[in-house]
Every structure is written in C-alpha cells, then in structure tokens.
Structure 1
Amino acid sequence: MSEKLEKLRAMLEKEKERRIKLNNRIEILERRIQEAEAAEVNEMVRSAKVSPEQLAALLRQSATTTPNPAALAAVGATFDKEDDSDED
C-alpha cells in the first residue's frame, strides 16, 4: 500500500474517533438540558402550588388555549408572591 493511502486511512480513523467523542458530548448536553428543563418545570409547579390533578387540567386547557390568570384560578392554582423589595 502506498504511503498516501496509509496516511488517508489514519486520518479517517482519527476523524471517526473524534466524531464518536462529539456525538457522546452532544448526548450528554441534550440529557443535561432535559434535566434542567424538568427541574424548571418542577419548580414552576411547586411555586404554583398545583396538585397533579390541577396540573393535568391545566395541560388539557393549554392544548386549546393559552393559560392565563383566569384559567389558573379555574383549576385552583395559586402563586407565591415574588419579593420585589430587591429592586430598590
């Protein structure tokens, strides 16, 4: 085999290994994003003091309309007041 072919095959193998590492990193980042999104949604639900049944009702409502304060009140959701005293 020629030296040129050997070099090209070595480069190909190196790039394949690099691609595998990048794909693994992409999968890890996608999983971390999913976990962060789930934690964020979980925190929103907790701050809204919504029961699983109320959350299910909100999700059913949101399939057809955008949730608004009236829709939240309809299922009995309440939100903690945010502390605005830090804005001074």
Structure 2
Amino acid sequence: MSEKLDKLRATLKKEQERRIKLNNRIAVLERRIQEEEAAEVSNMVRTANVTPEQLAALLRQSATTTPNPAALSAVGATFEKEVGADED
C-alpha cells in the first residue's frame, strides 16, 4: 500500500478510538446528570414533606396548570425552612 493510504488509515483508526472514548464519556455524563436530577427531586420532595400520594396529585395538577403555593396547599404539602450555608 502507499504511504499516504497507510497514514490516512492510521488517522482514521485513531479518530475512531477517540470517538469511542468521547461517546463513553458522554454516556457517563448523561448518567451522572440523571442521577443528580433524581437526587434534587428527591430532596425537593423531602423538603416539602410530600407523601407519594401528594406527589402524584401534584404531578397530575402540573399536567394542566402551573404548580403554585395554592396547589401545594390543596394536596396538603408543607415546607420546612431551608437553612442557608451562612445560617449556622
């Protein structure tokens, strides 16, 4: 084979390996984002003292209207005061 073709094939192989590494990194980042979103939602639910039934009701309400304090009160959700980082 010609030297030019060998170089092109080597470059192609190198770039394909790079693409595989990037795809793996993207998959890891997407999984970490999904886990962090789940943790945030869980924290919000815990902070609001919402039962699974109340959460289901809120989700049904949010399909048709924007959740607001009145909607939260309607399902019996209560909030704990969040403590800021500088309030210790």
TM-score for the superposition, normalised by structure 2: 0.93
Alignment match, 2:21? 21
Matched positions, count: 86
Alignment match, 1:82? 82
- RMSD between aligned residues: 1.2
User: 1:26, 1:7 → 2: CA distance?
Assistant: 28
- Which letter maps to 1:48? A
Unpaired segments ≥5 residues, structure 1: none
Q: Does 1:50 align with 2:50?
A: yes
Identity %: 81
Residue 82 (structure 1) shift? 2.8
- Which letter maps to 1:5? L
User: 2:6, 2:82 → 1: CA distance?
Assistant: 65
User: 2:47, 2:82 → 1: CA distance?
Assistant: 10
Provide, for residues 20-61 of structure 1, a one-character-per-residue CA deviation record: whole Å limited to 9, x for no partner. 000000000000000000000000000000000000000000
SS in 2 for 1:82: coil
Q: Does 1:73 align with 2:60?
A: no
- Which letter maps to 1:15? E
User: 2:77, 2:23 → 1: CA distance?
Assistant: 41
Q: Does 1:61 align with 2:61?
A: yes
Unpaired segments ≥5 residues, structure 2: none
TM-score for the superposition, normalised by structure 1: 0.93
